[in-house]
């Protein structure tokens, strides 16, 4: 198949491209060109400024695609540009979205219906005009209300992996290992996560299956902050120093005030089997902790 990946030089986007290459697909990546990709001659590359509609239009030209994966759309203006530029030029469009579309109503076992992009009021603007969650809500709303091609919005929770450039899990492990305080709001709050390999696997599934609409994509199971810290203490051999809230330096990026995790039933009913959380997170923590030591 002929596939375009917007973004794709790091983390789960890179793993997606590797999966597609392995299966022998004709892959083009569209990036700013700031990072040298590692795919060699296995992919084509176009240089594009995603925020510049004309730059995107010129970069892709009149090419047509079986599938387009968009890992770098963060606003309604960017989504509208894609709807216009790729009209009649793709059979399916996969938008990387987020659990943060539901950051205004935290809860347990959150379903896709918690945010309905089909009737959400569209407000046009650029990335800087919205919070991360609102930008993704706006992007979903534009795609599902304006696109003439089939769209899947893949809503990820926190994505983790050895190569996570945000280093959110690394942050906790390093601070426990170095006996530095970490600030939380609620140690009993539970969250969901997904391994970067599994995130790439579901993105591929979304493109090649018949599914459409918003889909939660998360490992089965959830973990409280207390349980997460316990795993880190075991891996580092250190006792964590926990404070309430904390300051900007010590505050946990996982510091939610209450449960915030999603239910992947819709995706599993469609035929995708996610990795159980306990099958990979403890071993990942051990691996990262060994690197800190």
* Residue 102 sits in the same domain as residue 137: yes
* Residue 113 sits in the same domain as residue 226: no
Tell me if 85 sits within 8 A of 149, measured CB to CB: no
Helices 277-292, 168-177: inter-axial angle, 10-degree rounding: 50
* Residue 205 sits in the same domain as residue 256: no
pLDDT digits (tens, 9 = 90+) for 267-278: 999 999 999 999
With a cut of 90, say whether residue 151 has pLDDT above it: yes
Residue 132 lies in a domain: yes
* Residue 211 sits in the same domain as residue 225: no
pLDDT digits (tens, 9 = 90+) for 69-95: 999 999 999 999 999 999 999 999 999
* Residue 167 sits in the same domain as residue 284: yes
Sequential DSSP letters for 180-195: -EEEES-TT-EE-EEE
Write b or e for each residue in 49-66: b if 16 or more Cβ atoms lie within 10 A of its Cβ, otherwise e.
ebbebebbeebbeeeebe
Q: Which residue has the higher pLDDT, 60 or 127?
A: 127
Provide the residue range defining the domain that includes 284. Answer: 161-192+221-261+276-292
Tell me if 292 sits within 8 A of 174, measured CB to CB: yes
With a cut of 90, say whether residue 255 has pLDDT above it: no
With a cut of 90, say whether residue 174 has pLDDT above it: yes
Tell me if 112 sits within 8 A of 215, measured CB to CB: yes
With a cut of 90, say whether residue 202 has pLDDT above it: yes
Q: Tokens standing for 274?
A: 């996610």
* Residue 79 sits in the same domain as residue 30: yes
* Residue 211 sits in the same domain as residue 286: no
Nearest CA to 222 out of 101, 112, 108 is that of 108
Q: Which residues contact 216 (CB under 8 A, 6 or more apart)?
A: 99, 110, 111, 112, 155, 262, 263, 264, 266, 267
Task: CATH number of the domain at 120, please.
Answer: 3.40.50.720
Task: CATH number of the domain at 249, please.
Answer: 3.90.25.10
pLDDT digits (tens, 9 = 90+) for 213-246: 999 999 999 999 999 999 999 999 999 999 987 7
Q: Which own/partner pairs from 101-107 qualify as long-range (CB within 8 Å, at least 24 positions apart)?
A: 101/133, 101/136, 101/137, 101/140, 101/155, 102/133, 102/262, 103/133, 103/260, 104/133, 106/256, 106/257, 106/258, 106/259, 106/260, 107/258, 107/259, 107/260
What average pLDDT is seen over the chain?
94
pLDDT digits (tens, 9 = 90+) for 39-66: 888 889 888 888 889 989 988 888 999 9
């Amino acid at each position: 198949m002929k596939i375009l990946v917007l973004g794709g030089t790091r983390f789960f986007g890179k793993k997606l491209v590797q999966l597609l290459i392995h299966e022998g697909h004709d892959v083009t990546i569209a990036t700013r060109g700031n990072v040298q990709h590692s795919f060699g001659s296995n992919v084509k590359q176009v240089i594009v400024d995603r925020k510049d509609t004309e730059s995107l239009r010129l970069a892709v030209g009149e090419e047509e695609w079986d599938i387009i994966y968009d890992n770098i759309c963060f606003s309604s203006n960017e989504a509208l540009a894609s709807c216009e530029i790729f009209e009649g030029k793709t059979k399916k469009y996969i938008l990387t979205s987020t659990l943060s579309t539901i950051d205004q109503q935290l809860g347990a076992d959150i379903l896709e219906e918690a945010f309905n992009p089909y009737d959400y009021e569209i407000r046009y603007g650029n990335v800087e005009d919205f919070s991360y969650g609102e930008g993704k809500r706006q992007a979903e709303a534009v795609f599902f209300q304006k696109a003439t091609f089939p769209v899947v919005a893949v809503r990820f929770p926190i994505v983790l992996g050895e190569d996570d450039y945000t280093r959110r899990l690394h942050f906790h492990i390093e601070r426990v290992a170095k006996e530095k305080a970490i600030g939380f709001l609620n140690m009993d709050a539970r969250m969901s996560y997904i391994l970067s390999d599994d995130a790439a696997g579901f993105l591929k599934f979304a493109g090649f299956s018949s599914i459409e609409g918003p889909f939660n994509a998360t490992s089965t199971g959830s973990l409280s902050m207390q349980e997460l810290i316990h795993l880190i203490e075991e891996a580092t051999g250190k006792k964590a120093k926990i404070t309430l809230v904390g300051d900007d330096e010590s505050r946990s990026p996982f510091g939610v005030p209450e449960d915030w995790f999603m239910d992947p039933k819709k995706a599993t009913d469609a035929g995708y089997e996610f990795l159980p959380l306990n099958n990979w997170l403890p071993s990942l923590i051990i691996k990262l902790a060994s690197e800190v030591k």
